[in-house]
């Protein structure tokens, strides 16, 4: 990537003025009546030459901070860390900087951070909301500040959001286990009243009900101390040696689950088939590799930032958009057919 | 944790005034001539009852933003994500909020982000610095803004920093491999001129030199597209089937390395012993578990935030502190003795 490319170079290459390039890069094309075709050509070249509009914000008189506040649940969780990184990249390409922080799913902390962001004059908010934050978010929106939610949403607040089809994802993963011959399938997840977690439980239950199988749901309280997750998880699996498969509700509980399974010396899938929500290196590199529900994190990041940029464009109509994306079930050896397992045993 | 605890409760419990508690929580104890003993008692109780000084900043007239800017290389890297999270926790306990962003090791982006932080009036900076940022950091320090570096430092700028003993860590890990009977030991890492990476190479080379063994150093260019790391890594291992051990320079390249090893069908450690810098779930859950150099991330976070808070206390003498912490070599089956490997083969 050539770091010496400037706005002038881009202007010269396309035989247009520097000011035009600048207007386009600052989202003022419509206001300045610059043709969509030219906007596309400029953005294409900007991307091709790898131009990064670093010091743009400073030099412009848009009256905006060009800063977006991003609130994730926990930045040390790979799902949120990866999404945050992708959103940061996308935003930076468009001349926005992201500042992020972790809410810890703590309502008071979230309220405090929202205030901090407001004091720092951020232009917009991207939030994976904790519970009981409805009033604060509604107040933000009322004051004209753009808010996009992701991962989960607040049913009683009308905002833009980007989520995945959680219910179908776990329904589909559970169906997969049933089709592979498993029948005593547990669902182990974190206790939560958030929309995405409720939907995951629902999908699991629906698949079992349809197949007239009994559900075994174990909701473990989240704790920052991993030992306090591993302990009840170990006890639950020990108490139920007849389970033939388990579906984990998140990457974090899935990783803890693998530690327990390894510690108990259980063979996967002979003793216990495994499927987890979220797909990361831990699952790909496990022996055998673990079947996982992959969230489309690039698409989530793209959609979140597009929605927010649209909202930031004052000329754009302010209808809310609710986007639900599909996940992919990456089937691997941890859930291979019971029949084949029996033969190779 | 009881969320309803207020400053008044703390004041009442200790039979002191609310104002005194407030002064203490805002680091104005010295200025207000409050005894150290009382400060300790208040902070102890604050910790015990889990009081979080959420809305403190707003209500106080300290003239400070109580915001710290944290710049990591890449938030999607588990080392940085975990450190960021721990620093955020520690800071929050002390009434500070953290806003973070990724520098991507890009000098221009870092300069831009530094400007953004200054515009937002952050009180202090925690930075894992990229190259060529010396002048900018020196200017920050000259203007009286506290800066603490971590992970790596800038040899030509006199700042506080917290790093680990990288050179001894790789020396020690390489010695371990030699003692286990391995002699054709490669070091695969990312090409970098940063202090921590240079030290890691040095430690590896020193151990081999001492044992009169030949070094095999492969430095791969970092790329956000993992395929472009895996490709040269695969080629290198294929070209050198006689290596009996490999030391990976970071968790990221180590994870890529395991993918390559798995793909090539190499048995660990029979075909190739493996040790990696940084210790995460991927290494613990691999079969066999991978020997890893664990950085003391809690201690790094603690020291970073303590140094910065000291700097933020204007009454404190402003000598710089350079802290080097030890790592731990967690030996696991991926590097077990060659002799034992031969017997069980």
Which helix or strand (DSSP H or E) is residue A43 part of?
helix A36-49
Instruction: Give the distance from residue A152's alpha carbon to the nearest chain B alpha carbon, in angstroms.
Output: 21
Ranges of CATH 3.40.50.2300 domains, chain B: 67-160+297-323, 166-295+329-344
> Using alpha carbons only, how large is chain B's radius of gyration in Å?
24
Is B288 part of the contact surface with chain A (CB cutoff 8 Å)? no
Least confident of A41-55, A118-132, B331-345: A41-55
Please write the tens of the pLDDT for every residue from B163-188: 999 999 999 999 999 999 999 999 99
Asked if A88 and B75 come within 8 Å (Cβ–Cβ), the reply is: yes
The backbone torsions φ and ψ at residue A322, rounded to the nearest 5 degrees and listed phi first, read -115, 115
pLDDT at A83: 94
**Token pair recorded at residue A271:** 């003793």
Per the CB < 8 A criterion, the answer to whether B304 and B245 are in contact is no
* B-chain residues near A109 (CB < 8 A): 52, 54, 92
Nearest-by-Cβ selection for B74 from A54, A85, A97: A85
What does A288-322 look like in DSSP terms, one character per residue?
SPPEEEE--HHHHHHHHHHHHHHHHSTTS-----E
Please write the tens of the pLDDT for every residue from A170-213: 999 999 999 999 999 999 999 999 999 999 999 999 999 999 99
Instruction: Give the distance from residue A239's alpha carbon to the nearest chain B alpha carbon, in angstroms.
Output: 23
Ranges of CATH 3.40.50.2300 domains, chain A: 67-162+297-323, 166-295+329-344
The rounded distance, in Å, linking the Cα atoms of A71 and B222 is 28
Per the CB < 8 A criterion, the answer to whether B207 and B220 are in contact is no
Topology at the third CATH level for domain A67-162+297-323 = Rossmann fold (3.40.50)
Ranges of CATH 1.10.260 domains, chain A: 7-59
The rounded distance, in Å, linking the Cα atoms of A28 and A34 is 8
- According to DSSP, the residues that pair with B114 across neighbouring strands are none
**Token pair recorded at residue A97:** 């900087």
* A-chain residues near B120 (CB < 8 A): 67, 99, 120
Is A76 part of the contact surface with chain B (CB cutoff 8 Å)? yes
Topology at the third CATH level for domain A166-295+329-344 = Rossmann fold (3.40.50)
Q: How confident is the model at residue B345 (pLDDT cuts 50, 70, 90)?
A: low
Asked if A284 and B259 come within 8 Å (Cβ–Cβ), the reply is: yes
The rounded distance, in Å, linking the Cα atoms of A298 and B225 is 13
Q: How confident is the model at residue A231 (pLDDT cuts 50, 70, 90)?
A: very high
Instruction: State the SS3 of chain B.
Output: CCCCCCHHHHHHHHCCCHHHHHHHHCCCCCCCCCCHHHHHHHHHHHHHHCCCCCCHHHHCCCCCCCEEEEEECCCCCHHHHHHHHHHHHHHHHCCCEEEEEECCCCHHHHHHHHHHHHHCCCCEEEECCCCCCHHHHHHHHHCCCCEEEECCCCCCCCCEEEEECHHHHHHHHHHHHHHCCCCCEEEEEECCCCHHHHHHHHHHHHHHHHCCCCCEEEEECCCCCCHHHHHHHHHHHHHCCCCCEEEECCHHHHHHHHHHHHHCCCCCCCCCEEEEECCCHHHHHCCCCCEEEECCHHHHHHHHHHHHHHHHCCCCCCCCCEEEECCEEECCHHHCCHHHHHHHC
Whether the pLDDT of residue B291 is over 90: the answer is: yes
Is B105 part of the contact surface with chain A (CB cutoff 8 Å)? no
* B-chain residues near A95 (CB < 8 A): none
Q: Of 3.40.50, 1.10.3470, 1.10.260, 1.20.950, which CATH number belongs to B7-59?
A: 1.10.260
Please write the tens of the pLDDT for every residue from B148-160: 999 999 999 999 9
* Strand, coil or helix: A163: strand
Topology at the third CATH level for domain B67-160+297-323 = Rossmann fold (3.40.50)
Nearest-by-Cβ selection for B101 from A88, A109, A113: A88
Nearest-by-Cβ selection for A287 from B97, B101, B287: B287
Least confident of A132-141, A195-204, B34-43: B34-43
The stretch B254-281 carries a mean pLDDT of 97
Report ipTM for this prediction: 0.75
Per the CB < 8 A criterion, the answer to whether A261 and A287 are in contact is no
Instruction: Give the distance from residue B206's alpha carbon to the nearest chain A alpha carbon, in angstroms.
Output: 32
Most confident region among A74-78, A252-256, B128-132 by mean pLDDT: A252-256
């Amino acid at each position: 990537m050539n770091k010496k490319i400037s706005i002038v170079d881009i202007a010269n290459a396309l035989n247009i003025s520097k000011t035009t390039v600048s207007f386009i890069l600052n989202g003022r094309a419509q206001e300045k009546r610059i043709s969509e075709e030219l906007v596309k050509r400029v953005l294409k070249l900007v991307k091709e030459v790898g131009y990064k509009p670093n010091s743009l914000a400073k030099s412009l008189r848009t009256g905006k901070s060009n800063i977006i506040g991003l609130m994730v649940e926990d930045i040390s969780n790979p799902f949120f860390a990866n999404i945050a990184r992708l959103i940061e990249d996308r935003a930076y390409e468009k001349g926005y900087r992201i500042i992020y922080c972790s809410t810890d799913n703590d309502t008071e902390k979230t309220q405090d951070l929202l205030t901090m962001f407001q004091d720092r004059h951020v232009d917009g908010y991207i939030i994976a909301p904790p519970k009981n934050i409805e009033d604060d978010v509604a107040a933000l929106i009322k004051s004209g500040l753009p808010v996009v939610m992701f991962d989960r949403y607040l049913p009683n607040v009308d905002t833009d959001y980007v989520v995945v089809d959680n219910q179908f994802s776990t329904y589909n993963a559970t169906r997969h286990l049933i089709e592979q011959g498993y029948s005593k399938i547990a669902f182990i997840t974190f206790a939560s009243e958030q929309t995405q977690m409720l939907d995951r439980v629902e999908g699991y239950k629906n698949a079992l009900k349809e197949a007239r199988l009994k559900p075994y749901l174990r909701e473990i309280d989240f704790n920052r101390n991993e030992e306090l997750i591993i302990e009840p998880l170990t006890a639950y699996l020990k108490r139920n040696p007849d389970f033939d498969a388990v579906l984990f509700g998140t990457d974090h509980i899935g990783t803890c689950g693998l530690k327990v399974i390894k510690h108990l010396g259980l063979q996967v899938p002979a003793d216990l088939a495994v499927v987890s929500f979220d797909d990361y290196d831990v699952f790909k590199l496990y022996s055998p590799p673990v079947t996982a529900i992959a969230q489309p994190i690039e698409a989530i990041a793209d959609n979140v930032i597009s929605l927010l940029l649209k909202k930031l464009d004052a000329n754009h109509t302010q209808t809310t958009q609710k986007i639900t994306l599909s996940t992919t079930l990456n089937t691997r050896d941890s859930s291979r057919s019971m029949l084949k397992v029996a033969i190779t045993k």
